[in-house]
Structure 1
């Protein structure tokens, strides 16, 4: 399989590290996964089988991939010009416009390439358009890594639970807010915990999308559309963040046998993100940076999956799973 990586930040490099580390394992069990191009804002490198270790070292040392040495070629030019089977789109998520990822994905389909993405932005804003474009060009589109990091949420629902009617989905889909609320249960105030989370790298320098609930909103839109067949965008979600939660509120909730968690849910076609009282013994009461998703189904009843919802290697795990799935599908067709 010939792969183009668009975006070489934390997630792009995480995928490259995993492909390098597991190269022999993958070759033995699934065949070759060769990266033939990497592009980001600094330029691109192109080759039959790029030295991933060197590419990572150069990017992390200089901040630019073009020093590989590379060429001054845009991501779109790479997508159009380089012969490859799959484009992995892992540029930063933009929840306002979905760009440049939306254009990258559409142009990949138009130029005969399947797509794997971890990018929430275009999926939360243009899900229907992207799916229809993939179908029009007869291309495979996978995005397990866009929700829940390493947690197999979408594949679990669509494959393992195939035949079940998914009645509702609810869960904690943002590790930053879960960490903050977990620490606040110890009596620390919101601002103190947020500062600590930034210092530990758990929260972004600008954590607005996390604490406002927008990140969770984007993820439940993806789940609603991909799993439940709805046609929603992030504008359809009722959103309330955790900014007004106090240690006192958590203390009072604990005394009554509850905790407070930022819950995203899809029930009866409605999409809601807001802090909710959760029984302390509930499967939804996970701690720290963990994520959890609970499916209510007609046959299997309640199914719960818990795992790490973020991190370079964890997200790379989901991307790799999608790449292996596409490789098998291509080989079955040939």
Structure 2
């Protein structure tokens, strides 16, 4: 049986979801793929836990929940940072779930390049480095003969990148159009059903933990724009970066505008459009009852192909375990390629 030593850098909501998913599924993966998963290191922004014999996933989660820091993990807690861990720990696969930084791509960019240069496979949920350095990252992975997976960067649990590359690989994709951000979909859905103002709905979504304390990346369309760049590069082969996207967010949408649209049988949704001619994120009118008529944090994407016609996928675009499900899928795909 092959053993896979896993290093998780980033232990917020998604990182914890990855630990939980591994805890839930490791026995099934062992039986189905003859692979033994072992988390040998985990790190949050200020602390870490490291053990070559493997860390207990449930104890990691309990430690983080009760103390807020991984350094309190019994016997194996410490304060090494991400790069220090990569230099000192013997691991096979890096799972990078650090926060997205669209300006520099850090720390994910440096961590990923370091892992590649050391011959390690990488799975990420981080969009920042992909949105500004996609071509460089893919080229470096190939040069070092390692695998680089990033399904969870677009749509959370919604299958899109692997789905198109593997299931629709007989088709040429002409465009992808969809709702690529769960937070904005929740806000616009609530404004539509409740008639509430943007600011009140935003405050509500923050109280529920759907929107971040600083919601800028979501509500100004930055998150969705990153996803359009990743789709453009990975599926359409367009050499695009974040600055190539025409971006407008939802912060100027009023309840009056939503009410007027509703009277005419329309909804307002933040839509991302990906084609060889255009990369755009903006609020648009969509017909009630269409495939875009989704509530809550759901994401969707319609893939326009030459052979299969239009294929629409829908899934939860946010959530700890939901996003971790896509990361675990990538992990299984890495294992299958060994």
* TM-score > 0.5, shorter chain as reference: yes
**Does residue 60 of structure 2 align to residue 55 of structure 1?**
yes
Show the 5 A alignment for 1:121-140.
Answer: 121-140=128-147
Q: Deviations over 1:194-223 (max 9, x none)?
A: 111111111111101111111100111000
Look up the match of 2:172: 165
Look up the match of 1:195: 203
Greater shift in the superposed pair: 220-229 or 181-190: 181-190
Show the 5 A alignment for 1:106-185.
Answer: 106-185=113-192
Q: Deviations over 1:289-331 (max 9, x none)?
A: 111011000000000001100110001000000000000101x
Looking at structure 2, the residues matched to 81 and 228 of structure 1 have their Cα atoms a distance apart, in angstroms, of: 38
Look up the match of 1:46: 50
Report SS of the residue matched to 2:337. helix
CA contact (8 A) 1:80 1:108 kept: no
Q: Using the TM superposition, give the Cα deviation of residue 139 of structure 1 relative to its aligned residue in structure 2, in angstroms.
A: 0.5
CA contact (8 A) 1:44 1:74 kept: yes
Q: Using the TM superposition, give the Cα deviation of residue 249 of structure 1 relative to its aligned residue in structure 2, in angstroms.
A: 1.3
Q: 2:77 aligns with which of 70, 75, 79?
A: 70
Q: 1:242 aligns with which of 241, 250, 253?
A: 250
Looking at structure 2, the residues matched to 72 and 53 of structure 1 have their Cα atoms a distance apart, in angstroms, of: 20
CA contact (8 A) 1:183 1:193 kept: yes
Look up the match of 2:241: 233
Looking at structure 2, the residues matched to 307 and 266 of structure 1 have their Cα atoms a distance apart, in angstroms, of: 19
Greater shift in the superposed pair: 264-273 or 319-328: 264-273
TM-score (norm 1): 0.96
Q: Deviations over 1:56-89 (max 9, x none)?
A: 1111211111121423322112212322221000
Show the 5 A alignment for 1:1-334.
Answer: 1-30=4-33, 31-47=35-51, 48-68=53-73, 69-186=76-193, 187-330=195-338
Q: CA RMSD in A?
A: 1.1
CA contact (8 A) 1:279 1:285 kept: yes
Q: Using the TM superposition, give the Cα deviation of residue 228 of structure 1 relative to its aligned residue in structure 2, in angstroms.
A: 0.5
Q: Using the TM superposition, give the Cα deviation of residue 39 of structure 1 relative to its aligned residue in structure 2, in angstroms.
A: 2.1
Unaligned residue ranges in structure 1 (runs of 5+): none
Looking at structure 1, the residues matched to 98 and 268 of structure 2 have their Cα atoms a distance apart, in angstroms, of: 33
CA contact (8 A) 2:273 2:279 kept: yes
CA contact (8 A) 1:101 1:122 kept: yes
Say if 1:108 and 1:250 are closer, same or farther in 2 by CA, change over 3 A: same
Looking at structure 1, the residues matched to 251 and 80 of structure 2 have their Cα atoms a distance apart, in angstroms, of: 42
* Length, aligned pairs only: 330
Looking at structure 1, the residues matched to 221 and 334 of structure 2 have their Cα atoms a distance apart, in angstroms, of: 32
Report SS of the residue matched to 1:228. coil
Report SS of the residue matched to 1:235. helix
TM-score (norm 2): 0.95
Report SS of the residue matched to 2:295. coil
Unaligned residue ranges in structure 2 (runs of 5+): none
Q: Deviations over 1:120-156 (max 9, x none)?
A: 1111111011101101111100000111001111011
